[in-house]
Amino acid sequence: MSEALKVAEIFGEDVFNDTVMQERLPKKVYKDLKKIIEEGKELDLATADVIAHEMKEWAIEKGATHYTHWFQPLTGATAEKHDSFISAPLPNGKVLMSFSGKELIKGEPDASSFPSGGLRATFEARGYTAWDCTSPAFVRHDAAGATLCIPTAFCSYKGEALDQKTPLLRSMQAINEQSLRLLRLFGNTTAKKVTPSVGAEQEYFLVDAEKFEQRKDLIYAGRTLFGAMPPKGQEMDDHYFGTIRQRIAGFMKDVNIELWKVGVASKTQHNEVAPAQHELAPIYGEANVAVDHNHLVMQTLKRIACQHGMKCLLHEKPFAGVNGSGKHNNWSLTTDDGKNLLEPGKTPHENVQFLLVLTCILKAVDKHAALLRESAADVGNDHRLGANEAPPAIISIFLGDQLEDVIRQLVDTGEATHSLKGGRLETGVSTLPDLAKDATDRNRTSPFAFTGNKFEFRMVGSRDSISGSNVVLNTIVAEAFAEACDVLEKADDFDMAVHDLIKKYATEHQRIIFNGNGYADAWVEEAERRGLPNIKSMVEAVPALVTEDTVSMFEKFKVFTKAELESRVEIKYENYSKAINIEARTMIDMASKQIIPAVIKYTKSLADTVLAVKEAGVDASVQAGLLKETSDLLAATKSALDALSAVTDKAAAMDEGEEQARFYHFDVVPAMETLRTPVDKLEMIVDKEAWPMPSYGDLIFEV
Ligand code: ADP
Ligand code: MG
């Protein structure tokens, strides 16, 4: 049997997908469920009972003993509580395997310790999980055996969102409604649904598990908090797209097989810029499924790495001095009959629609730049965004030469009469060029780039959920579409009105377009001149969630209530403070229990050497010099350690909230850096044998 055939066979074998449903469910139930999936109606209990029964039978055949409602609370990770299928023992002492419709569609995990930002306290303590039947259930095989996983949303008793999925589903509804409105205006009467399509490219690092275990910072914080740069970093660019080493290749193979089985279309894999850094990209899918799949990707990478004696680091910046990891969130809008709204058209008519969609997106991103930036704010991402690494913290849009030229013509003259590619098309009102798929070079420094038929949002952190960014993208574009439709639906001369609107949006929002080098200092100045926000850190980004514009938009499209947004703000500050507190305490722990004792031992041996050498009547100045240098750095380390302890204690004693988070950011983080500096210098001096943990070189070059 050929390898290709096997892949086709295993793909989706553990998924309760359409094929399985069609085979197993009674025709009427299947039809009802399909309708619900397509039209977003509620499932009645009788139908749910039938589906649950078939799902259970199927899962048991796959070896499942348990089921779980798999959900995405605001911890950033996924959560699950497992229940076995067994019923209460019967009089004969045996049990049955049972699973009811009620258990399928609704769960009540004891979820009181998930972050709710005060939502549950205000309303009702319980949290509920509800089946998202648009994301298929699957059976996961791991050390726990086989478990039927049911993707669910997680809400409070009154329906407030306590998770990432609920707002995402709401935002998908908003963009669907507004996109359909827009399509109807352009004469499309056939499309019934428009869905955001999302493909997330995932970057990660792999390190040897034994070495990982020797680093408390990796264990507790997921990143190194100390570490001198090895003689070689990524400067040679010899890792990027390089041949994949055998150990890594074996890992990737197993990851792919596991992902394929659960229906994740893992497609591309390659080495990334930094040594030990890699990337995996699946084929894009519907936004909510893509979010679920990205969680599965992250979990699978971690699980399989362990099986190969490695650890997968998903942190945005595991190592200072080499490239960090992110996630490119590719986003487009697809109709149920397969048309992509971001695909430049072949006819003048389609081109006008495309240009309207494009300029609506310019408007949306310009208006809500701070909110979009916030959607990628994450503790670890502070090390990337704005830190001279891909991408900058300033939101701008890369359109490519051809499209930028078209926009320029529209702005300058009111019409675009030619394209750089030379095509020319009459539209009746103005002249618009033929927009061939732009094959010009990619701009890797842009945070939001148009790449032919999709936008690529490159700010998301590698460890973060892509949900938040897609909620924002869907909603801000829905708002822009709605505002355009409000105008166009009333227009007497539609063609003229569209033309004017495209020109208006292009003119008013051209400042957001930037095709140059996003890393250059000149861009920071230029962006400031243009009035674009440059938000350098997570704590400074969070307020964008509750500005007047944000709240009214989210409320209008029923994605978030004000209370939900406020709860998220609270949770974000809390999460930030907790994360930095852990990092600071880990540094304190490592410095006091490992590094300082090791250096003291080393100075003692140096001092002994100095004496012995002197006794032998030989010049001991090198040894003495080393001893002095080491002792001075040791003193600097100790005083920085004391300062960090004091400032961390002060931070921890503050009330939770914005002020505390800002104190962690502006006071504790710099104190951590002050401690790191002498320690990294010491690492370069102290005998390698005496250093208490594996070095950067050991970690990233010896996987
Ligand atoms: P790149 O453009 O970054 O070189 P690809 O073209 O392979 O790489 O796409 C990267 C990611 O974008 C993949 O996950 C891919 O499935 C996804 N993607 C491709 N087309 C679309 C689209 N129309 N909408 C959303 N995602 C897409
Ligand atoms: Mg990409």
Phi then psi dihedrals of residue 137, to 5 deg: -75, 155
Q: Do the beta carbons of residue 332 and residue 455 sit within 8 Å?
A: yes
**Statement: residue 417 has pLDDT above 70:** no
- The pLDDT of residue 429: 40
Average pLDDT over residues 257-264: 96
Q: Is 268 exposed, middle or buried (0-12, 13-18, 19+ CB in 10 A)?
A: exposed
Q: Which residues contact 428 (CB under 8 A, 6 or more apart)?
A: 348, 495
The answer, yes or no, to whether any atom of ligand 1 lies below 6 A from the CB of 197, is: yes
Q: Which of 297, 454, 473, 474 has most ligand 1 atoms within 8 Å of CB, for mutation? A: 454
The answer, yes or no, to whether any atom of ligand 1 lies below 6 A from the CB of 327, is: no
CA distances from 630 to 448, 509, 588, 677, 691 (A): 47, 57, 19, 13, 13
- The pLDDT of residue 428: 40
Element (H, E) at 274: none
Q: Do the beta carbons of residue 63 and residue 139 sit within 8 Å?
A: yes
**Statement: residue 686 has pLDDT above 90:** yes
HEC string of 350-413? HHHHHHHHHHHHHHHHHHCHHHHHHHCCCCHHHHCCCCCCCCCCECCEECCHHHHHHHHHHHHH
What percentage of the chain has pLDDT greater than the value 70? Answer: 91
- The pLDDT of residue 236: 64
- The pLDDT of residue 237: 65
Nearest ligand to the CA atom of 197: 1
Q: Do the beta carbons of residue 170 and residue 311 sit within 8 Å?
A: no
- Put residue 413 in one of left, alpha, beta given phi > 0 → left and psi -120 to 50 → alpha: alpha
- The pLDDT of residue 390: 66
> Is 694 strand, coil or helix?
coil
Residue 409's pLDDT band, with cuts at 50, 70 and 90, is confident
CA of 328 to the centre of ligand 2 (A): 6
CA of 370 to the centre of ligand 1 (A): 25
Place of tokens 């390089």: 242
**Statement: residue 404 has pLDDT above 90:** no
Q: Give tens-digit pLDDT for 315-330.
A: 999 999 888 999 999 9
Q: Give tens-digit pLDDT for 119-131.
A: 755 445 678 899 9
Q: Do the beta carbons of residue 333 and residue 171 sit within 8 Å?
A: no
- Put residue 276 in one of left, alpha, beta given phi > 0 → left and psi -120 to 50 → alpha: left
Q: Do the beta carbons of residue 62 and residue 137 sit within 8 Å?
A: no
Phi then psi dihedrals of residue 527, to 5 deg: -60, -40
Residue 39 Cα to chain centre, angstroms: 28
Task: List the single range of 179-183, 391-395, 532-536 with lowest mean pLDDT.
Answer: 391-395
Please state the pTM of the whole predicted model: 0.94
**Statement: residue 191 has pLDDT above 70:** yes
Q: For residue 14, which of 125, 136, 186, 174 has the smallest C-alpha distance?
A: 136
Residue 63's pLDDT band, with cuts at 50, 70 and 90, is very high
Residue 230: CB atoms within 10 A of its CB come to: 17
Average pLDDT over residues 177-202: 96
CA of 456 to the centre of ligand 1 (A): 8
Q: For residue 595, which of 691, 697, 671, 694 has the smallest C-alpha distance?
A: 691
The answer, yes or no, to whether any atom of ligand 1 lies below 6 A from the CB of 330, is: yes
Phi then psi dihedrals of residue 478, to 5 deg: -60, -40
CA of 123 to the centre of ligand 1 (A): 42
- Rounded to 5°, angle at Cα 119 from 117 and 120: 110
**Statement: residue 689 has pLDDT above 50:** yes
The answer, yes or no, to whether any atom of ligand 1 lies below 6 A from the CB of 284, is: yes
- The pLDDT of residue 345: 74
Instruction: Return residues with CB closer than 5 A to ligand 2 (ion).
Output: 328
Which numbered atom of ligand 1 lies nearest the CA of 342? 23
CA of 330 to the centre of ligand 1 (A): 6
